[in-house]
Chain A
Amino acid sequence: MKITVNIWRQKDADAKGSMVTYPLESVDEHMSFLEMLDVLNEKLTIDGEDPVAFDSDCREGICGTCGVVINGIPHGPEVTTTCQLHMRTFKDGDTIDIEPWRAGAFPVVKDLVVDRGSFDRIIQAGGYISAPTGAAVEANNIPVPKADADHAFEAATCIGCGACVAACPNGSAMLFTASKITHLGLLPQGQPERDSRVLGMVEQHDAEGFGGCTNIGECTAACPKGIPLDVISRLNRDLLGALSRQAVGS
């Protein structure tokens, strides 16, 4: 099928970018979306033009590296990662707009590549359990109710792609932050650092320039892993508790 793509081209972080149109003559419906871009890049290379820079790695929906805004929707019209989107979703003659994640805390590096280092710094600020190697007790000494373990696992399936931020009108990373708060906060191992974790991570989230959450829910609608909005309620509850304990000095 014939497809026309409008792609955001930006030489580097400081350059001004613009949308550039490329026609593609023979796109196979079984191609993945990124393979369609590969084919475009092969053509650009042969023509001596600069290929479109975009991030991808595992191409099986788990590493979280890929992610572009497709026709205004992070990862495109299906609820999945960009690498798992296939061209059969589109029709012959379609025009597709392709842009990078748009958020102040995700500066563009080049074309469709953004810098998501802010996510790593949020994790550094408390998104862990302090368990130095060698200090662990026998694993089955820490029983975890199955429901809690399953719920923690679901929150832990976040791939850190940043679609939630790109989807949020406020550019908030609350879904990302809250998924980690929920994963670790539901486990007995996560209790000793529960307060310091939520305080540290939320402070870092704000310092990175992510916006505040106003419970719009675009994040969870765009999340390729289906992280539910209620993780943010849990974060808010943990934060309130931690702040009040901090205030009374206990």
Chain B
Amino acid sequence: MTTTTPAPGEFHVVGDDIRDAAAPTGPIERRWDDRKFNAKLVNPANRRKIKVIVVGTGLAGASAAATLGEAGYQVVSFCYQDSPRRAHSIAAQGGINAAKNYRNDGDSIYRLFYDTVKGGDFRSRESNVYRLAQVSVNIIDQCVAQGVPFAREYGGLLDNRSFGGVQVSRTFYARGQTGQQLLIGAYQALERQIGAGTVEMNTRHEMLEVILVPDADGVERARGIVVRDMVTGEIETHTADAVVLATGGYGNVFFLSTNAMGSNTTATWRAHKKGAYFANPCYTQIHPTCIPVSGEYQSKLTLMSESLRNDGRIWVPKKEGDDRPASQIPEDERDYYLERIYPSFGNLVPRDIASRAAKYQCDDGKGVGPGGLGVYLDFADAIERLGRPAVEAKYGNLFDMYARITGEDPYSEPMRIYPAVHYVMGGLWVDYDLQTNITGLFCAGEANFSDHGANRLGASALMQGLADGYFVLPNTLADYLAASPFEKIADDHPRVVEARQEVEARITKLLEIDGTRTVDSIHKELGHIMWEYCGMERTAEGLTKAVGLIRELKNEFWTNVKVTGVNEELNQTLERAGRVADFLELGELMCIDALNRAESCGGHFRAESQTEDGEAMRHDDQFAYVSAWEYDTDGDGQTPILHKEPLEYEYVEMKARSYK
């Protein structure tokens, strides 16, 4: 039962445990087949009477919309960009995993499953991950059929590389632009359906609310959305039989991240405020090899492929505050700290360990570059050993990118790198069918929480987005839609009108405040709080402080923000204001979630929970569960309700990681 007041030192209350009711049981390798076999089907002739809304056109959204369109449903698709081809999946560099075992190196569906569960630090669901590994092979087939130009061997067959600390070569890639090529593939499939009339595309439209309508039995169902036409400002309502959110991650809560400028949480946060559980919001992946911040004007961070760590050596000066140029620091005054602390893995330790180690060096005053927030990544040894042409052939495009952004030549002086927020494992809670706890509201891709546990392995984000969109949703959604078409919802239905009025009132309020702070200045302040207290290392004390600071900042926002212009125009300040308002609330929940999880796991490191030598320490006895947060509607979000979904491991034995 739910208690009504938080325990001392806490901000939340605990509700009933939840279960994934859609999850099949039985042998793990049969579960997905069983689920598909037991799912109800929709007669092809009925599909054209059924309408599905898909929000977002990244890998998950574009692939879902295209596939549902091909199947014959009426699909209505939305994106905030000017074209579906611009969704941020396009920026993924490294590759996509699939258990093809083309290299005959012992890979299998079971091994990909095992690596992903272990990589997720035992905080993901076995059934989901197994399904992901199963459909990974179909994804590659599908993409090749569409003309995705993956790298190939001279014999004409597909090439693979190893990626992200696994021992098999299962990553398919298209130079350093795999995300771009996969997204263009999905985009072209989507455009084909738009041309065929099965998908109606709405670009420059931002979703601002979900519409829930009770059915005859009183069950609240997601039946539509409210969107703003970003060119005219018109507030539109769209109704359908089901709603799919594929709206990406919320890394921009940190202001600076590798996400696109427009990436935001508004769609998922609005759904959360309407009752959808938000799962594991504190699980954030921080990538160690990004280009450091150069000044206060910085608008975003750029990732460089972590393949650089294969040949680059990471170091800082041994002396605090040493401001000599790198070339003048003699060898014996350099600390190659990863090689020193982790002699067996050295510079190739996992992302979270490399990131945290860099932070500690900078905290100790040994950081390099502007503000002391950077460490060296040095290729001098590699250039000497392999020769410059070989280094150029391997990393030329990354070196060029670095030189373009920083104005420095990484062939003659070491690169400077610093960790940056890159991906979030948290997202809307979904069951095995990718349905949220709101009936008829589905969530796919980075926007959901489902497959990566507390940490995502490299080259697995693209795999999950496409698995959800091409193969999982079209099957599980059919099971839900078999009972449709549902009763048609009129535009003047009280719930539709109410949702629309809520959106309009919020916009009016934002425009009326007319204070003195810009939206970006508040967003930056939120970012600083999140990075300081809910970033690479978290403590109970810091998180408690952060909740207070965010609450103050939220108040500052709603009383002193300045939004110029009017609603009835292209108004980019208004767009950003709405997103930042939601980031403020999400940031608070992230801190509360991080505070509750008094253990270290994956991307979540609590300073209080580490071994004597500074390694992350899980507490499986207390925290082997998914934290699914319910919005506290009565208390205006002040006291979120925690529902725990216990995690059980039948196939993979829970073990502690060690990289020493």
Residues on A facing B (Cβ under 8 Å): 11-12, 28-32, 34-35, 38-39, 42, 44-46, 48-51, 53, 55-65, 80, 84, 86, 88, 109-110, 113, 115-117, 119-120, 123-125, 127-140, 142-146, 149-150, 152-153, 156-157, 159-160, 183-184, 187, 189-190
Contact = CB atoms under 8 A, between A and B. Distances in A.
A12 B142 CA distance: 42
Contacts of A58: 86, 88, 90-91, 260-261
A56 B299 CA distance: 11
A80 B481 CA distance: 47
B166 interface: no
B26 interface: no
B147 A149 contact: no
Interface string B82-116: 11111110110000000010100000000000000
5 contacts: A84-B404, A113-B570, A116-B82, A127-B188, A133-B70
B188 A129 contact: yes
Interface of B: 63, 66-67, 70, 81-88, 90-91, 100, 102, 138, 140-147, 149-158, 174-175, 177, 180-181, 184, 187-189, 191-192, 194-195, 201, 203, 231, 258, 260-262, 294-295, 297-300, 302-303, 401, 404-407, 470-471, 474, 516, 518, 520-521, 562, 564-565, 569-570, 572-573
B531 to A, nearest CB: 19
Contact of B564 (A32, A49, A132, A145): A49
A145 B297 contact: no
A106 B262 CA distance: 22
A37 B149 CA distance: 36
Contact of B407 (A30, A124, A183): A30
A35 to B, nearest CB: 5
Contacts of A117: 82-83, 203
Contacts of A136: 138, 141-142, 144-145
**List of 4 A-B pairs having minimum Cβ-Cβ separation, nearest first:** A143-B156, A124-B195, A136-B145, A128-B188
B195 A110 contact: no
Q: Of residues B90, B152, B471, which shows the largest number of chain A Cβ atoms within 10 Å of its Cβ?
A: B152
B321 to A, nearest CB: 22
Contacts of A183: 147, 149
Interface of A, secondary structure class, is loop
Contacts of B470: 133
Contacts of A61: 401
Contact of A128 (B81, B151, B192, B474): B192
B211 to A, nearest CB: 27
Given A60-B302, A63-B88, A157-B177, A86 B562 contact: no
Contacts of B102: 140
Contacts of B201: 120
A86 B297 contact: no
B266 to A, nearest CB: 15
A42 B191 CA distance: 37
B83 A120 contact: yes
B144 A142 contact: yes
Contacts of B181: 153, 156
Given A45-B518, A113-B570, A120-B83, A138 B191 contact: no
A203 B502 CA distance: 45
Contacts, number: 215
A11 B142 CA distance: 45
A128 B262 contact: no
Contacts of A128: 146-147, 188-189, 191-192
A130 B192 contact: yes
A137 B174 contact: no
Q: Max chain A CB contacts within 10 Å: which of B138, B405, B570?
A: B570
Nearest to A36: B297
B430 to A, nearest CB: 20
Nearest to B562: A45
B69 to A, nearest CB: 10
A139 B192 contact: no
B152 A144 contact: yes
Nearest to A120: B83
A116 B83 contact: yes
A160 B258 CA distance: 21
Contacts of A140: 102, 157-158
A139 to B, nearest CB: 4
Nearest to B196: A124
A123 B191 contact: yes
Contacts of B100: 139
A30 to B, nearest CB: 4
B556 to A, nearest CB: 16
Nearest to A111: B570
Given A46-B518, A60-B302, A129-B146, 18 more contacts: A34-B299, A42-B520, A45-B518, A45-B564, A48-B562, A57-B261, A59-B260, A64-B86, A65-B82, A80-B404, A120-B191, A129-B145, A133-B189, A145-B156, A150-B152, A153-B175, A156-B174, A183-B147
A159 B294 CA distance: 27
